[in-house]
Amino acid sequence: MIRVTGFYRWAEGAHFDHAYFNSEHGRISKEALSSLGLLRLESDQFLSPTAPTIGEIVATTHAYFPDLQTAQTALATAGGALMADVPNYTNLKPEIRLSKVSSHV
C-alpha cells in the first residue's frame, strides 16, 4: 500500500482554515481520487497548547492507494485540481511525500 501525504508547515503570517480543509477540501479530494484507486483518505490537525512555531507541522492529509503506479497516476490526473483548492483554506504550500506502508501487528 502507498500513502501520499501532504504536510503543512507553519510560516510567519500563515493562516489555515481547518474546518474548510476537513469538510470541503476533503470532499473535493475524495470525489477527485475515488475513481483513481483511492482506498482511504484521512487528515490530521496537530494540537498544541501554544501558537504554532515557524516550521512546525500544523496539518497533514493522507491518501492511500494500492500501489505506486496507481498513486502516481492519481496525482498526475487530479493533483492540479486539488492544488487549485489550496488557497481556499491556507497560504501554506503543502509538501507532498509518497511512502510505502507496512503493517506491524
Band (pLDDT 50/70/90 cuts) for residue 34 is: very high
Give the torsion through C-alpha atoms of 82, 84, 89, 90, to 10 deg.
Answer: 110
Mean pLDDT of 1-19: 97
The answer, yes or no, to whether residue 48 has pLDDT greater than 90, is: no
What is the per-residue pLDDT across 57-89, written as a single tens digit (0 to 9) for each?
Answer: 999 999 999 999 999 999 999 999 999 999 999
Domain extent listing, the chain: 2-99
Q: What is the pLDDT of residue 32?
A: 98
pLDDT (0 to 100) of residue 97: 98
The one-letter code for the residue type at 12 is E
- What pLDDT shows up at residue 105? 82
Q: Which of 76, 77, 46, 48 is nearest to 61 (CA)?
A: 46
Q: Classify domain 2-99 by CATH number.
A: 3.30.70.100
